[in-house]
Structures are given as C-alpha cells and as structure tokens.
C-alpha cells in the first residue's frame, strides 16, 4: 500500500513538472543551430503518405509554429497538405515559411510534428 502511494505521488510530480517545462525537445532543437538555416517550405520534398489526422497548428507565434499530424507510412518527405498549411500560416504574417525539422512520437511512430519558422 505504501509503495503504491509513493509511486503515485512520484508519478504525479513528474507529470506536473513535465507539463511546466516550457517548449518540447523538438521545438528547442528546431530553434537551435543544430537545425541550421532550414529549407523553404515550398522547396520541401513531398511524400505520398496518407494522412490519418488532419494537420493541426500548435504553439503559434508570429515567428514560428509546429504542425502535428498522423500519417500512414514511413519514409521521407512531407505531405503536400502540411506544406501548404505552413505556407498559408506564414503568409498571414506576410512572411515565408521555412521548414526546420520534424520529429516522430516515441510511442506512436506515425505521429509527426513538423517545425516551421516564419521569416
């Protein structure tokens, strides 16, 4: 009983700290020098992967954002709808979309988060 309670308390504290930790690792990497200058979104290679979840813009600022989506299949390239959404989003700020990086979820390997900057 005491061991179970202890595990529950430690788990709750860890989850609470993770939720207050600021930007996720992928966002920090995309904004770092490791990602380089990026690639114009319009020049991104396009994949033919089917999308299982409508792309969703997250963490939107005037300088950048993330697009999360679930695709069916693996490989390189970005679905055209994701690229077009990024271009449209930055155009609202009269800026150009630059693709910085993409990451896949550890548990759900088909969940992709693409990182863009508006320049």
Higher pLDDT: 7 or 80? It is: 80
Kindly give, in sequence order, each residue whose CB lies less than 8 Å from that of residue 105, ignoring residues fewer than 6 positions away.
111, 112, 113
Task: Provide the pLDDT for residue 92.
Answer: 94
Residue 34 pLDDT more than 70? no
List the structure tokens of 20: 């207050």
**H/E run at residue 51:** strand 50-58
Mean pLDDT confidence for 84-97: 95
Please name which of 42, 47, 49 lies closest in space to residue 98, comparing C-alpha atoms: 42
Residue 67 pLDDT more than 50? yes
Q: pTM here?
A: 0.70
List the structure tokens of 26: 């992928």
Task: Provide the pLDDT for residue 15.
Answer: 47
Task: Parse the chain into domains and list their residue ranges.
Answer: 24-118
């Amino acid at each position: 009983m005491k061991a179970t309670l202890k595990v529950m308390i430690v788990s709750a504290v860890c989850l609470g700290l993770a939720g207050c930790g600021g930007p996720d690792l992928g966002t920090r990497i995309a904004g770092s020098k490791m990602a380089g200058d990026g690639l114009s979104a319009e020049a991104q290679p396009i994949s033919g992967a089917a999308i299982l979840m409508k792309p969703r813009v997250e963490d939107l600022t005037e300088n950048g954002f993330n697009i999360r989506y679930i695709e069916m299949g693996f490989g390189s390239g970005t679905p055209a709808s994701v690229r077009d959404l990024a271009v449209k989003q930055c155009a609202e700020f009269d800026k150009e979309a630059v693709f910085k990086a993409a990451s896949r979820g550890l548990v759900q390997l088909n969940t992709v988060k693409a990182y863009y900057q508006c320049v």
